[in-house]
């Protein structure tokens, strides 16, 4: 069941969350402001948008964040259920992400998952066209506005994805910071877990159209459907397959081994005397 409402007031400075009042009209009698009996605290409100559709390789819908990642996780997991050497793979769903990933913090604080688990948190994160463009592949996210994620795990995945792209030129992926928001990976890392993130670059972040222009004061604020690339979505599924099958592999050369090799090969420059002109 649905009811329509019009926002009347916004208390943007209210804590811990913004407070909004809206005038409700029933679906049968738009002229009355009496809410239907089934409309109770806990019901979810959303913007009134058109039906979801795919246009020019992009899916436009009420909320991609984080439903697109949930769908990708389920698709990948379905294919991995009967795969060899993937018995270690599991899914964890948490709630209250948008109000400070409180669900993830609750899981971490109560140690509901093993401490030796390696967590690949899935996200949709605001796209910056000149840095993290939509359509250029899903993203191995190295950090967010809060922290840098677990480097050994992130580096391992980046190596796997890089190796795949060399063997399969059609596979597209990106390695980016994505500092536009926060991610559960920061929460899990804070509580001692190895964690990193794979995310989709997101358009109309949090239903905000032309967010850069609005922030610059050049455009009025408007709402619109979020959108992600279908190709990026399939890229995320592929990255999850690669990660599941390769996370326990030994890399040809670890970062520490790379540093030692570079030092062994080139440390002579520190002691070699300069030639006189």
- For 105-138, the pLDDT digits (tens) are 999 999 999 999 999 999 999 999 899 999 999 9
| Cα-based torsion angle of the residue sequence 236, 130, 204, 146 in order, rounded to the nearest 10 degrees | 70
- Coil, strand, or helix at residue 125? strand
* Residue 107 CA to its chain's centroid (Å): 18
Identify the pLDDT of residue 124. 97
The full set of domains in the chain, from first to last, is 1-45 (no CATH), 53-252 (3.40.630.10)
- Give the integer Cα–Cα distance in Å for 188 and 72: 21
* DSSP summary character for residue 152: H
User: For the chain, how big is the Rg over CA atoms in Å?
Assistant: 23
- Give the integer Cα–Cα distance in Å for 167 and 151: 24
CB 119 within 8 A of CB 154: no
Identify the pLDDT of residue 276. 54
Residue 27 has pLDDT above 60, yes or no: no
- Give the integer Cα–Cα distance in Å for 151 and 180: 20
């Amino acid at each position: 069941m649905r009811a329509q409402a019009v926002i009347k007031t916004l208390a943007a400075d209210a804590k811990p969350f913004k407070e909004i009042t809206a005038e409700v009209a029933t679906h049968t009698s738009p002229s009355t402001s009496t809410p239907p009996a089934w409309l109770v605290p806990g019901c979810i409100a959303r913007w009134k948008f058109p039906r979801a559709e795919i246009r020019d390789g992009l899916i436009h819908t009420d909320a991609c964040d984080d439903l697109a990642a949930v769908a990708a996780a389920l698709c990948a997991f379905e294919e991995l259920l009967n795969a060899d050497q993937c018995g270690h793979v599991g899914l964890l769903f948490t709630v209250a992400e948008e109000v400070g990933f409180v669900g993830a913090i609750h899981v971490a604080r109560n140690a509901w998952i093993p401490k030796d688990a390696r967590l690949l948190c899935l996200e949709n994160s605001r796209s910056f066209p000149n840095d993290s463009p939509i359509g250029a592949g899903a993203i191995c996210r190295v950090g967010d506005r809060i922290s840098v994620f677990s480097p050994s795990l992130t580096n391992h995945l980046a190596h796997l994805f890089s190796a795949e792209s060399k063997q399969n030129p059609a596979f597209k992926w990106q390695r980016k910071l994505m500092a536009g928001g926060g991610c559960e990976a920061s929460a899990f890392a804070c509580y001692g877990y190895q964690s990193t993130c794979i995310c989709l670059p997101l358009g109309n972040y949090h239903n905000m159209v032309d967010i850069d222009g609005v922030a610059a004061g050049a455009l009025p604020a408007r709402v619109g459907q979020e959108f992600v690339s279908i190709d990026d979505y399939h890229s995320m599924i592929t990255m999850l397959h690669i990660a599941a099958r390769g996370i326990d592999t030994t890399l040809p050369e670890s970062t520490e081994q790379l540093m030692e090799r570079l030092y062994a090969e080139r440390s002579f420059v520190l002691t070699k005397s300069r030639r006189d002109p």
